[in-house]
Amino acid sequence: MAKGAPQSKHSVRKAVFPAAGLGTRFLPATKAQPKEMLPIVDKPLIQYGVEEAIRSGISNIIIVTGRGKSSIEDHFDVSFELEHMLENKRPNRELLSLVRSVAADADISYCRQKEALGLGHAVRRARELVGNEPFAVVLSDDLIHSRTPCLDQLIRAFDHTGGAPVLALMEVPRTDTHLYGVVKAEPVENYDGRLFRITDLVEKPAPAKAPSNLAIVGRYVLIPEIFDSIDRTGPGAGGEIQLTDGLKHLLRTHTLYGYLFEGERYDAGDKMGYLRATVEFALRRPDLGRPFRDYLKSIKL
């Protein structure tokens, strides 16, 4: 655990969920509905992320919202009407516990990002709620299926490094580097072969300018020093304040690591990625997997 980090069972207790983006890739579905509330099978995207955080030992959730995002707050709130109906008028124990479990395990607070000025800017908005301790960042449109929750894998690496920031990494085709933050990194000996020391980061580089094919995925374990670095970061790719650029600034004074996580990542903010996630999550569901597989096999288009 990092020197000076709080004494708790877990070295990382808080997770920030930026959720103020405009979701333009999913219009018109996201015109009046946050993209974080789009369902994969029957659960909104952001709930998958919150559950991953909880399974990684984090119960303090900070959601950075913006205008038009109030359904996220309602979703994680107690729904008296619904609970009353499922308890009395149309009793259904199973549905009742499902509805209750959404809000049960997490302590959720909200802050606002008034303008969508970029991911770095969104994370910066959470400074007061995070305070002076390490924290995770989860981008909920990066949906991850894995045996060990991706965040948990990062936290273990974070503890191993003695409290240095760790970013989730995956290999991408060279032609796709312009869609991601990309790092230059060298493998670290004596861990599990998946840990890298980062020597440079570039947000959304053209393939010819990419320092490698190791892309940043939307899971980070960060230290509070990142906030000052973001403050010193001007607009970057797309004219936005980029978290990747803030991390590049932090790299001047701190060691950063990347972890090639074990698991499957879906870009649920992209139409093809969203469809893949829907199909594969449905196929893995004990209640739907078999009939859905039979249905898919039967399609003649």
- Site of interaction with ligand G1P (CB under 6 A): 119, 139, 142, 180-181, 203, 215-218, 242-244
Residue 184: what are its φ and ψ, rounded to 5°? -105, 130
The CB-of-144 to ligand G1P minimum distance in angstroms stands at 11
Distance CA 34, CA 257 (A): 32
Residue 62: what are its φ and ψ, rounded to 5°? -120, 115
The CB-of-287 to ligand G1P minimum distance in angstroms stands at 30
Non-local (6+) Cβ contacts of 97 within 8 A are: none
Tokens 């707050």 sit at which residue?
A: 73
Distance CA 9, CA 82 (A): 35
Q: Kindly tell me which of 156 and 265 has the beta carbon lying closer to ligand G1P.
A: 265
Q: Could you tell me the two tokens for 240?
A: 């936005």
Distance CA 124, CA 232 (A): 11
The CB-of-120 to ligand G1P minimum distance in angstroms stands at 8
The CB-of-139 to ligand G1P minimum distance in angstroms stands at 5
The CB-of-80 to ligand G1P minimum distance in angstroms stands at 35
| Residue 243 contacts residue 230 (beta carbons within 8 Å) | yes
The CB-of-141 to ligand G1P minimum distance in angstroms stands at 7
Distance CA 124, CA 28 (A): 29
**Type of residue found at 219:** R
- Rounded to 10 deg, the angle between the 45-55 and 150-160 helix axes is 40
Q: Kindly tell me which of 53 and 216 has the beta carbon lying closer to ligand G1P.
A: 216
| Residue 166 contacts residue 220 (beta carbons within 8 Å) | yes
